[in-house]
Amino acid sequence: MSSEFNGIGNLGVIPKLTSVDVLGNGARNVANMRIYFDRQVPDGDNGFKDKGGFWLTVDMWGFRAEEAVRLLNKGSRVFVKGILRQESWNDDKGEERTEMRLTADYFSIDTLCIDSVIYKSKTVSS
């Protein structure tokens, strides 16, 4: 089962970068992170309250994985977009476990959480 998913949430931990051999095609970098996707609703007092959310394990591959690890910190508010999938495995006691995971192909940082921005220089090719 897989479907498209996009959402805004907060990182629960600093993203971790690892290198994985992908079916004999060489190593690729993957960033693993946990994101809490909240559901904010108006509280009637000009504010918002959390109406229940969920944690999701997010994997991001390649260049975007490296950028996520370089730029994101615990608590960062991010938008992610990708494919949601269900994974199953047997734990150390032999019991079957399942988890929903997101393979993200895009992320952006919520501008409300940014103090300043420094742009990269454009590379001019001849």
pLDDT reported for residue 101 = 93
pLDDT reported for residue 47 = 84
Task: Break the chain down into helix, strand, coil percent, rounded to 5.
Answer: 10, 55, 35
pLDDT in tens, 68-101: 999 999 999 999 999 999 989 899 999 999 999 9
pLDDT at 126 over 70: no
Domains, the chain, with CATH or none: 2-113 (2.40.50.140)
Long-range contacts of 93-101 (CB under 8 A, 24+ apart): 99/57, 100/56, 100/57, 101/56, 101/57, 101/58, 101/59
Which of 67, 75, 80 minimizes the C-alpha distance to 120?
67
Instruction: Lowest mean pLDDT of 56-65, 68-77, 114-123, name the range.
Output: 114-123
Long-range contacts of 13-16 (CB under 8 A, 24+ apart): 13/74, 14/69, 14/72, 14/73, 14/74, 15/60, 15/65, 15/68, 15/69, 15/72, 16/69
Written as six digits, the tokens of 60 are 């991001």
